Amino acid sequence: MQTKNTHLKTLVATGFTASAFAAGSAMAADTVDTAAIISTIQSAGVAAAAIGVAVLSMHYGIKLYKWIKAAG
């Protein structure tokens, strides 16, 4: 009885593995074009970087102005 049970488990495991590979290859055929999404994210990143540079420039510009004013 022990051997039949082991063979059954092996067959079931092999069947699940084969069906998983078949499902994976079927899903690989349906690819999504992500070029538009990537370009949108990249352009948003450029805008965010520009805003960040502007904010930091204002912050340190004010600090520099106060430092120069205090020295004079």
Task: Give the pLDDT band of residue 72 (cuts 50, 70, 90).
Answer: confident
Range 50-53, long-range pairs (CB < 8 A, 24+ positions): none
When comparing pLDDT for 65 and 27, which is higher? 65
Give dist(CA 64, CA 35) in Å, integer: 43
Name the residue type at position 55: V
- Using one digit for the tens of pLDDT, what is the confidence trace for 24-54? 555 556 788 899 999 999 989 999 999 999 9
> 27 and 42 share a domain?
no
What pTM, to 2 d.p., does this model score? 0.45
Unique residue bearing structure tokens 């965010």: 48
Domain that holds residue 10: 1-31
> 21 and 50 share a domain?
no
Give dist(CA 27, CA 19) in Å, integer: 12
- Report the number of distinct structural domains present in the chain: 2
Sign of CA dihedral 52, 53, 57, 63: positive
